Amino acid sequence: MNKSSSPSSLLFSFFVIFFYVFSSTLQILVKAEVPAAKTFKYVNEGMDYFGLVENNANYRPMKITNYPIRLCFFNTPDSYILGPGMGNANPTSLMRWVLTANHARPVHNKAKLIFSQNGNLELVDTYGRVAWQTRTANKGVVDIKLLPNGNLVLVDKKEVFLWQRFDYPTNTLLVGQGLRLGSSGGANRLTNGAYSMVLDTTEVNLLFKSPLSSKPLRYCNLIRSGDGQLHNVTLNIAPAADGPDYSNELRLEYLNNYHGFSGTTQTKYNRTLSIYRLSSDDNLHIYTYYEKGREDAWEETYTEFTSSWYAGECLLPEKCGLLGICENSQCVACPMPKGLMGWSKDCKLVNLPSCDVGAANVSYYRVDGVDHFLDTNNEGEGPMKIDDNDCKCMAFFYRKDTSMCLLTVQLSTLIKAQDSSSAERVTYIKY
């Protein structure tokens, strides 16, 4: 007759099983270390290399390369930024920075980039401050790789990405990289100063952060999904299945659709070395790198706002500085209380009184036939009368044909209306 197990024997069996599982897990963790030969410690010291480099920087290259991409320390000039550089930094091949790691926390001479046996990659400044890290210690990382498209990755034994730089966009997308929802760290946006390109649940918009507004202002809608929620938008090359008419075409893919880049020429060369960038001029550009048979290895493949279509660069909020009328991508006039004056960088609003001192001190002057950069995305409020204005508003844009009114606290660039309804558009600016 079998006797039931005693509590002490059950407890002993539990500890045996626990010890076996723990030992096995420990062995797996120990086996998942980075081989000593692949660990490194790069010290940011020595000679600065000179050449044709973006932002007029000098650089210090490392041995982490995948031609024509190499990981470098870029001088800014009093501190250093870590990131891949694409190009050769010679007169025919500008080196462009892509996916910089510590742009918000620059480091100094003798900072260290350390890839440890535990699998963590970290950038440590001169005095021991960790400026940037991957936070991948003891997670199974065994190697680091710089891929042909510029993605820096940490992989496990099965070559699965445990961390990739593509998950942390800055102001640039590379081929295969995208914006995505549902994660922290700004993975849903490109940012450059006051400007950003943001993936929302159903749209991709260009936003401008004005110091006068509590929230960013949308000045352009790039993508609007009518088929469901957008979880990601990825920069890719058209597949071969699309046929020769789309050979090597770059596009922003989402759901089962894509946003193409109009005006791009179809090329016979591979466009894998392309970057989609929200640039310092507040415009969106695509630059493609290809050396063979060309004097300049870089080609500007696409620009979002050009003079070839309605409004063009006039849609950029700060195209004409603090104030100015823009037509055909050129700043053509400075609207003043006494009329339209010649435009210069000194064009700006005259003294703006506070409403607290009384409405008697507030007046408006009229400008005909212009739009605000928000008009393309906002028809305004109404219907209302011209007299129904808000003293706190810097200006209001009125449509006589619809009695709709757009109130705004930000002026900057005013767009010269070019359609048949331009005579119906009246703007009143506070002074």
Summarised one tens digit per residue, pLDDT across range 52-76 is 999 999 999 999 999 999 999 999 8
> Which pLDDT belongs to residue 431?
79
pLDDT tens-place string over residues 89-109: 988 889 999 999 999 999 999
Residue range 148-159: mean pLDDT, rounded: 96
**Percentage with pLDDT > 70 across the chain:** 82
Please enumerate in sequence order all residues whose Cβ is within 8 A of that of 64, keeping only pairs 6 or more positions apart, or say none: 70, 71, 144, 146, 152
pLDDT band at 3 (very low <50, low <70, confident <90, very high): very low
The helix or strand, by DSSP H or E, that contains position 71, with its residue range, turns out to be strand 69-75
Neighbour tally for 118: CB within 10 Å: 15
13 phi and psi, to 5 degrees?
A: -65, -40
CA-wise closest residue to 212 among 315, 318, 311, 305? 318
Q: Which residue has the higher pLDDT, 123 or 421?
A: 123
The candidate with the shortest Cα–Cα distance to 207, out of 310, 280, 282, 276, is 282
Rg (CA), the chain: 28
User: Given the DSSP bridges, would you call strands 323-327 and 330-336 parallel, antiparallel or unpaired?
Assistant: antiparallel
- Say which amino acid occupies 312: G
Q: What is the pLDDT of residue 26?
A: 45
HSE-up (13 A, CA, CB side) for residue 410: 22
Cα separation, 217 vs 399, in Å, equals 21
- Cα(142)–Cα(132) distance, rounded to whole angstroms? 20
Query: Cα 415 to chain center, whole Å?
Result: 25
Exposure string for 214-241, b = 16+ CB within 10 A, e = fewer: eebbbbbebbebeeeebeebbbebbeee
List all residues 6 or more positions away from 72 whose beta carbon is below 8 Å from its beta carbon. Answer: 59, 60, 61, 62, 82, 83, 84, 85
How far apart, in whole angstroms, are the C-alpha atoms of residue 390 and residue 407?
8
* Residue 73 CB contacts under 8 Å (≥ 6 apart), including other chains: 44, 59, 60, 62, 80, 81, 82, 107, 111
What single-letter DSSP state applies at residue 430? E
Highest mean pLDDT among 62-66, 311-315, 372-376: 62-66
pLDDT for 291 equals 87
**Does residue 424 surpass a pLDDT of 90?**
no
pLDDT per residue as tens digits for the range 11-50 = 545 454 544 544 444 444 445 799 999 999 999 999 999 9
- How far is Cα 220 from Cα 206, in angstroms, rounded to an integer? 5
Cα–Cα distances in angstroms (integers) from residue 369 to residues 396, 418, 423, in the given order: 13, 8, 6
**Largest Cα–Cα separation, the chain:** 111
Task: Report whether 278 contacts 198 (CB < 8 A).
Answer: no
184-228, pLDDT tens digit by residue?
Answer: 667 999 999 999 999 998 999 999 988 777 788 888 889 988 777
Tokens of 398: 């009125």
SS3 70: strand
Cβ-contact 54, 97 below 8 angstroms: yes
Among 47-51, 294-298, 407-411, where is mean pLDDT lowest?
407-411
- Cα 390 to Cα 385: distance, rounded to the nearest angstrom: 12
Strands 412-416 and 323-327 turn out to be parallel
pLDDT band at 360 (very low <50, low <70, confident <90, very high): low
Residue 182: is its pLDDT beyond 80?
no
Q: Give the tokens for residue 324.
A: 């100015």
Q: Is 278 helix (H, G, I), strand (E, B) or coil?
A: strand
Is residue 115 within 8 Å of residue 98, measured between CB atoms? Answer: no
Average pLDDT, the chain: 84
